[in-house]
């Protein structure tokens, strides 16, 4: 097991400290602001920087380099260049939300995916937590992290719109959570294109127009954006998988009505 020091006492650092301790690693910290990090690499195998992204390079620069110590960060979007003072560098990004230290620690050890780069110790730490490892090089990390944000942040933002529109009809968000959960499970099981249902998928432009008429004007840009994404997915599915015996009543994906729905 590794000896690890964690810098950054927020949700990510606190979650990681609890999770690593629970599987037998010796963990010091997390330590927050106001500490002198010059000797952070003393008497440990690894230093994990769990600060916000814009602070990682500054923190790494204050740590005296030790050729035997691995310095890692938990950022999804940054590469290894922010750790440039150090010979052994790594990235260890957990692909899961960490809302609290307790819930975060449990999730970190629940078999999640970790995006790693650099030193092999990053993969070893992920494996010790029971994680699945994907290697994401520096050149791909911004795209990887964009996908992660869409998967989590954008989905939550969409549920915020669900809550607002449902509330305007006198209904709670809870009534729609099973629907959202089933849709995500279908996408995981069948693939997004096969899981897509609803009026955009079947070209029901009259229903989409009724939706736009009914909802608050402030909600229409977000709704149109969602319809546009659904149409793009539906179009790509039709293009990728041509039907041998097309059904006559399947509407064309692009009709004059589309412009009124999506823009």
Q: What is the pLDDT of residues 49-99, one digit of tens each?
A: 999 999 999 999 999 999 999 999 999 999 999 999 999 999 999 999 999
Q: If we measure between CA atoms, which residue out of 32, 43, 45, 49 comes closest to residue 1?
A: 45
DSSP H helical ranges for the chain: 11-22, 53-62, 101-108, 120-128, 141-149, 155-168, 174-190, 192-195, 199-202, 205-214, 220-240, 257-262
The pLDDT score that the predictor gives to residue 262 is 64
- The pLDDT of residue 63 is 97
Give the residue ranges of the chain where pLDDT is below 70: 237-263
Q: List the domain range (segments joined by +) for residue 226.
A: 142-262
- What's the pLDDT score for residue 237? 60
Domain end among 136, 160, 181:
136
147 and 92 share one domain: no
Structure tokens at 234: 């539906």
Q: Are residues 154 and 103 in the same domain?
A: no
**For position 251, what pLDDT does the model report?**
39
- Is there a single domain that holds both residue 148 and residue 126? no
- If asked whether residues 103 and 215 sit together in one domain, one would say no
pTM over 0.95: no
The per-residue pLDDT for 250 is: 37
Q: What is the pLDDT of residue 257?
A: 46
């Amino acid at each position: 097991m590794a000896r690890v020091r964690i810098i950054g006492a927020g949700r990510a650092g606190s979650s990681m400290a609890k999770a690593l301790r629970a599987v037998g690693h010796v963990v010091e910290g997390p330590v927050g602001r106001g500490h002198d990090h010059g000797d952070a690499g003393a008497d440990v195998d690894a230093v994990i920087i769990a600060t916000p992204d814009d602070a990682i390079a500054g923190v790494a620069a204050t740590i005296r380099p030790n050729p035997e110590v691995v310095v890692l960060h938990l950022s999804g979007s940054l590469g290894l260049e922010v750790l440039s003072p150090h010979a052994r560098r790594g990235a260890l990004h957990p692909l899961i939300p960490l809302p609290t230290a307790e819930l975060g620690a449990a999730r970190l050890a629940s078999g999640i995916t970790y995006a790693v780069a650099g030193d092999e110790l990053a993969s070893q730490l992920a494996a010790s937590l029971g994680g699945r490892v994907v290697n994401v090089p520096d050149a791909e990390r911004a795209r990887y992290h964009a996908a992660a944000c869409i998967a989590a942040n954008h989905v939550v933002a969409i549920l915020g719109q669900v809550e607002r529109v449902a509330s305007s009809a006198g209904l709670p968000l809870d009534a729609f959570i099973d629907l959202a959960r089933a849709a995500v499970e279908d996408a995981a099981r069948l693939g997004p294109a096969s899981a897509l249902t609803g009026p955009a998928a079947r070209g029901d432009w009259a229903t989409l127009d009724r939706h736009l008429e009914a909802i608050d004007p402030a909600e229409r840009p977000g709704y149109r954006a969602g319809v546009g994404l659904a149409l793009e997915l539906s179009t790509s599915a039709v293009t990728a998988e041509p039907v041998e015996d097309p059904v006559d009543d399947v509407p064309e994906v692009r009709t004059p009505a589309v412009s009124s729905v999506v823009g």
